[in-house]
């Protein structure tokens, strides 16, 4: 268990090196497999909301019809910008984004590109304020129920659903520290693990650095 990290998301070569260069062992895999959903939509694409970079392929396929994009997370924002899309507003979580849009654009109609397993916070706030929000399922995430026969010093989580899936597949695998990319994921992790830390920035690299510092007691 000592000096070992499990990432529930496959990492890039540079991200792997970031960890291995510290002398910490690393295991990484995709806990959630993303499956696109074919859509043939005639929806109003003027004002589009995405809370995950997994929705970006569907957004890009309809880019010519989109006026404004609003997103959650710096990782998603960076992916959008890399593909030539400049988000109007970026929020750290879905609740925060919903509040921004409700307060600033009460007369607009929004299209929410999401998964079949999306969380309720954002749609619930729009419903409460009676602001039109159309949900369009553009992908589904399928949990890989993989169990491990070893205990890791730290396990890195990138989504609430990932926390639930890992905990279900590994009920006896209690990591010393659960490292979470954001507050929403951390809130879920506290239901399963006593020691939970949150990355200071919502990027994979910063989450890895948070894990490294946790093991090094920095």
The whole model's pTM is what? 0.80
Q: What is the pLDDT of residue 167?
A: 95
Q: What is the pLDDT of residue 63?
A: 86
Q: What is the pLDDT of residue 39?
A: 85
- 61 in helix, strand or coil? helix
Residue with tokens 């609740």: 95
CATH number of 37-141: 3.40.50.10090
Name the architecture of domain 4-31+144-216: 3-Layer(aba) Sandwich (3.40)
Under 8 Å between Cβ of 210 and 196: no
Q: What is the pLDDT of residue 130?
A: 94
Q: Do the domains at 4-31+144-216 and 37-141 have one common CATH topology?
A: yes
Alpha-carbon span 50 to 112, nearest angstrom: 6
Beta strands 32-36 and 133-143: pairing type? antiparallel
Q: What is the pLDDT of residue 154?
A: 95
Q: What is the pLDDT of residue 71?
A: 97
Q: What is the pLDDT of residue 40?
A: 75
Q: What is the pLDDT of residue 218?
A: 54
10-residue stretch averages of pLDDT, the chain, 218 residues long: 88 96 96 90 87 93 91 92 95 93 94 90 94 94 92 94 94 86 92 94 93 86
Per-domain residue ranges for the chain?
Answer: 4-31+144-216, 37-141
3-state SS of 180-194? ECCHHHHHHHCCCCC
């Amino acid at each position: 268990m000592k000096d070992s990290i499990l990432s529930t998301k496959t990492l890039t070569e540079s991200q792997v090196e970031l960890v291995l260069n510290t002398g910490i062992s690393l295991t990484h895999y995709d806990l959630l497999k993303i499956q696109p959903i074919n859509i043939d939509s005639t929806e109003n694409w003027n004002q589009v909301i995405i809370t995950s970079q997994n929705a970006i392929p569907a957004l890009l396929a309809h880019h010519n019809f989109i006026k404004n994009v609003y997103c959650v997370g710096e990782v998603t924002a960076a992916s959008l910008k890399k593909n030539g899309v400049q988000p109007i507003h970026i929020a750290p979580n879905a609740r925060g984004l919903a509040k921004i849009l409700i307060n600033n654009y009460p007369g607009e109609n929004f299209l929410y590109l999401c998964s079949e397993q999306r969380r309720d916070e954002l749609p619930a706030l729009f419903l409460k304020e009676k602001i039109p929000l159309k949900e369009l399922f553009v992908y589904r995430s399928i949990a890989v129920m993989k169990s491990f026969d070893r205990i890791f010093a730290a396990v890195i989580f990138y989504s609430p659903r990932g926390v639930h899936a890992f905990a279900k597949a590994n009920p006896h695998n209690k990591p010393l520290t659960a490292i979470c990319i954001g507050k929403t994921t951390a809130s879920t992790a506290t239901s399963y693990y006593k020691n939970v830390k949150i990355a200071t920035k919502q990027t994979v690299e910063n989450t890895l650095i948070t894990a490294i510092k946790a093991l090094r007691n920095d």
